[in-house]
């Protein structure tokens, strides 16, 4: 049973356990007549070989209200692409696979590179960006949900709850973020959100005083969740990072474009588990170490656009303030876990905080040395302005690949 408390400056939809799933899906089927719905699945080919995605497909086969499922397939050769077509063919809904490594989409990517409009990094951000380009091109949906393909605890109720706020014609929400409890196997997970993002936001609020943007981000219960939904036209004018800053970047962009009363979050699951990234102490270009750096830089860039001035002394202060707050959070979460019969390794939690504090400082120095760095992928409005028929070209390429 979730609480009903409204915290922060965005609307929070709770799971009060009063809604039957069949009733919820029946209502979504009714909404779909006015607001057709699509689902985007960014996937690595390796995820087709794991147990999580097959469970997701089994659940999605039962979903009655989707007009379209768009799968972004990364790191797949031709044989693997054909395998993926057979793999996803059991989906009863209309679906298309974006073969991002195929010759047709590669050719379009090269065209965009010639005009400095292509994503600069491989990864989820690039995959999602191209998928949304196809969604805009196909025109089959006005409400779009996105979730990861490595969720081992997936239930189709997650999708129904995630898309409902932007699919209901009587609601005015443009964007919805999913949240959930990161508990599985008797352990408390979600270290980057618990021990980096929230303590860092609280530290910067202490250093800089009241800043609406920080208050806004701190209103999200799980800002790093890979699950969100939005109206299809939202993606026309947002710029997203191609690195690990994707989730924070999306939250920043919808805040820039919309009033907070058009943004919301929803409780989509009691339990959620997916693959876990290593801390990567030895290499700050991998795992949670790189995630920490990318997220920190995304926050610093956004605050700079809001008029915050940074220097080395500022970052030293942020680091010290963060470290103290994060240590207090370790104590808080440890006690919470013990009361609920969960296991938390305080030693590894402190190791994570020490690594994060070092990377916050590194990210700050990187920001000062390269203040003009722009890791954002251009908005689709800009791309269409430069190449008016680009969406049609993407659509034709995907249709040809899937023919």
pLDDT of residue 189: 87
Q: Domains in the chain and their CATH numbers?
A: 11-402 (3.90.550.10)
For the segment 108-154, what is each residue's pLDDT rounded down to a tens digit?
999 999 999 999 888 889 999 999 999 999 999 999 999 999 999 99
Q: Which residue has the tokens 């240590």?
A: 327
Work out the percent of the chain whose per-residue pLDDT is above 90. Answer: 81
What does DSSP assign to residue 232? G
Grouping H, G, I as helix, E, B as strand and the rest as coil, residue 320 is helix
Residue spans of alpha helices (H) in 280-374: 287-305, 312-339, 346-369
Average pLDDT, the chain: 93
* 337-383 pLDDT tens trace: 999 999 999 999 999 999 999 999 999 999 999 877 766 899 999 99
174 φ, ψ (degrees, to nearest 5): -100, -25
Residue found under tokens 């919805």: 176
CA 283 to CA 148: how far, in whole Å? Answer: 25
What backbone torsions phi and psi does residue 2 show, to the nearest 5 degrees? -80, 160
Closest C-alpha among 24, 7, 329 to residue 195? 329
pTM given for the model: 0.93
Q: How high is the pLDDT of residue 198?
A: 96
Note every long-range contact of 362-365, with CB atoms under 8 Å and residues 24 or more positions apart, other chains counting: 362/284, 362/293, 363/292, 363/293, 363/294, 363/296, 363/297, 363/300, 364/296, 364/300, 364/310, 364/312, 364/314, 364/315, 364/318, 364/319, 365/312, 365/315
Q: How confident is the model at residue 284 (pLDDT cuts 50, 70, 90)?
A: low
324-345 pLDDT, tens digit per residue, is 999 999 999 999 999 999 999 9
Share of the chain above pLDDT 70, in %: 96
* Largest Cα span, the chain: 58
pLDDT, tens digit, 9 for 90 and up, residues 187-240: 888 899 999 999 999 999 999 999 999 999 999 999 999 999 999 999 999 998
- How do the residues of the chain divide into helix, strand and coil, expressed in percent and rounded to 5? 55, 15, 35
Contact 290, 204 (CB under 8 A): no
């Amino acid at each position: 049973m979730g609480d009903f408390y409204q915290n922060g400056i965005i609307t929070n939809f709770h799971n009060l356990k009063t809604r039957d799933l069949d009733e919820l899906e029946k209502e979504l089927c009714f909404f779909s007549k006015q607001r057709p719905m699509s689902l985007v699945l960014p996937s690595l080919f390796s995820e087709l070989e794991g147990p999580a995605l097959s469970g997701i497909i089994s659940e999605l086969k039962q979903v009655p209200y989707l007009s379209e499922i768009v799968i972004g397939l990364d790191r797949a050769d031709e044989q693997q692409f054909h395998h993926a077509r057979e793999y996803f063919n059991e989906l009863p809904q209309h679906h298309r696979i974006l073969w991002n490594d195929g010759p047709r989409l590669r050719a379009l990517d090269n065209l965009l590179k010639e005009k400095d409009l292509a994503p600069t990094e491989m990864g989820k951000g690039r995959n999602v960006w191209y998928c949304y380009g196809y969604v805009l091109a196909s025109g089959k949906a006005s409400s779009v949900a996105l979730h990861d393909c490595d969720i081992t605890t997936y239930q189709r109720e997650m999708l129904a709850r995630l898309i409902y706020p932007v699919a209901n014609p009587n609601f005015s929400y443009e964007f919805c973020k999913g949240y959930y409890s990161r508990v599985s196997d008797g352990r408390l997970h979600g270290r980057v959100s618990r021990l980096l993002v929230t303590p860092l936001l609280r530290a910067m609020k202490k250093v800089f005083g009241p800043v609406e943007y920080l208050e806004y981000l701190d209103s999200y219960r799980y800002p790093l969740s890979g699950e969100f939904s939005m109206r299809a036209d939202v993606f026309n004018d947002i710029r997203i990072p191609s690195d690990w800053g994707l989730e924070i970047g999306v939250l920043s962009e919808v805040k820039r474009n919309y009033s907070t009363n058009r943004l919301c979050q929803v409780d989509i699951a009691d339990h959620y588990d997916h693959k876990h990234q290593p801390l990567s102490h030895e290499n700050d270009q991998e795992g949670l170490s790189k995630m920490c750096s990318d997220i920190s830089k995304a926050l610093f860039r956004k605050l700079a656009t809001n008029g915050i001035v940074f220097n080395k002394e500022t970052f030293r202060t942020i680091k010290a303030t963060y470290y103290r707050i994060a240590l207090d959070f370790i104590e808080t979460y440890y006690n919470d876990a013990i009361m609920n019969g969960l296991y938390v390794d305080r030693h590894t939690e402190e190791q994570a905080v020490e690594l994060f504090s070092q990377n916050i400082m590194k990210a700050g120095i990187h920001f000062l040395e390269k203040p003009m760095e722009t890791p954002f992928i251009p908005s689709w409005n800009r791309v269409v302005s430069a190449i008016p028929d680009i969406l049609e070209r993407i659509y034709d390429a995907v249709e040809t690949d899937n023919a």
